[in-house]
Chains A and B, each alone.
Chain A
Amino acid sequence: MAARHLVCHTFFVMLNCLSETNRRAFLEGVRAYSPTLPAMLSWGLVTGIAMSKSVLTLPQSVGMSLLVYAGSSQLAVLPLLAAKLPIWTILLTAAMVNTRFVIFSAGLAPHFSYLGFWRRTLLGFFNGDIIYLLFLRRNFKPGYEPGKEAFFLGMAALAWTCWQVSSIVGIVLASLFPDSWGLDLAGTLALIPIMVSAITSRSVVVAFVVASVVALLTFSLPYRLGLPVAVLAALIGGMSSDALIERADLRRIRRRVVAEVPDSKAEPQIDLKADVTSDSDTVIDASGVSGGQR
């Protein structure tokens, strides 16, 4: 009780140190993030349970949760740890699963480029799927804007706290359940939605199918070398599919332009526009795809 009081007190003292604008923006960030809490809490709980049911000891699980702070890559490395893969393969996998954050950081960079190195790095540490999405939804202008950083930090503070609490609760509670319940499967199941949501275009489908097939074909290679091989093959597959789609689009435009030549008033811009919209056609429903790939 006293501890809780102290935490609340420190929290409000900290808030009072902020300017009025920043305090309001911080609390707005907390409020903006809060609807996603049920999902965040259960995701943390499952990750905690899965870590506990893996080869990790209790301090290792807690350490991983506090330091790594990346649910999907934490879950993805668990089966690799069990298979006793070499460290570099596991790190490579974690990096691959995390590459989406590199894209997000490119989106955040223009918003915070006016800050110093360490402040930018600190903000980067909290960059994540939900935070990035909610931040973009606010339509902030690039460059300095009062309250922008505080809004981001408000979301980050709530996200980090809830993740750590739920994950550590999961780690501790997991020992109550017998291993025969197969709760480590819950971790793999939690990756399925992330995987399906990552499939956003035709080329990603190609990459996904190539990765699955190559991973199975190369499964018996030593050190599960098949894993990096599968990802590499998938990147090549995705890029070739991109090149093919691009070429097909170009050909379509050219054909249309040629067809419209007799009409001297034909505006080539229309075709360019058609090309842009055809890009969104490639975002097909993930359902048809992953349902059929098994």
Chain B
Amino acid sequence: MSTQAIWILIIGMTAVTSVTRAFFLFAGERVNLPERVQRALRYAPAAALAAVVIPDVLWWHNQLSFSWRNYQLLAATAGLLWFVWRRSMIETIGVGMLTFTVLRLWA
């Protein structure tokens, strides 16, 4: 991607973030999202993150890999289990990176 395209993207993301964060604050009472739409919006973050994170973790050496040789998958699984157990973001990152590094160096 060209430098210019990335700057356009950054400006675009600034606009997107500002609009979403302030949406009802600047729309005031004029905009009233129907209950159904509001509920649908609740699924979007989990869905979008899943659609980004899961292929990203499974993409290993230029193919989708569910194998035990995919260190990223193992590290992310370790991090996920740790988070479910301890509910700490910092430790999740630590455990994941530690798993990845150990596998990279010694497996």
A→B interface (CB under 8 Å): 38-39, 42-43, 46, 55-57, 60, 63-64, 67-70, 72-74, 76-77, 79-81, 84, 87, 90-91, 93-106, 108-109, 112-113, 117, 120-121, 123-128, 180-183, 185-186, 188-196, 198-201, 203-204, 207-208, 210-212, 214-216, 219, 226-227, 230-231, 234-235, 237-239, 242, 286-287, 290-291, 294
Contact = CB atoms under 8 A, between A and B. Distances in A.
Contacts of B33: 106
Interface centre among B6, B42, B81 (most CB of A within 10 A): B42
B54 A215 contact: yes
16 contacts: A69-B17, A90-B9, A95-B16, A97-B52, A98-B21, A98-B45, A100-B42, A102-B41, A103-B38, A106-B23, A108-B25, A125-B22, A182-B72, A188-B57, A189-B93, A191-B53
Nearest to A220: B64
Q: Would you call the interface of chain B mostly helix, strand, loop, or mixed?
A: helix
A239 B11 contact: no
**Top 10 A-B pairs ranked by shortest CB distance?**
A124-B22, A234-B47, A96-B48, A207-B43, A238-B43, A211-B47, A198-B46, A98-B20, A189-B96, A287-B84
Contact of B97 (A128, A185, A195, A203): A185
Interface in B74-107: 75-77, 79-81, 83-84, 87, 89-90, 92-93, 96-97, 100-101, 104
Interface in B17-42: 17-18, 20-29, 33, 36, 38-42
Contacts of B17: 68-70, 73, 94, 98, 101
Interface residues of B, number: 70
Contacts of A196: 80, 83-84
B100 to A, nearest CB: 6
Contacts of A103: 38, 41-42
A272 to B, nearest CB: 18
Contacts of B96: 185-186, 189, 192
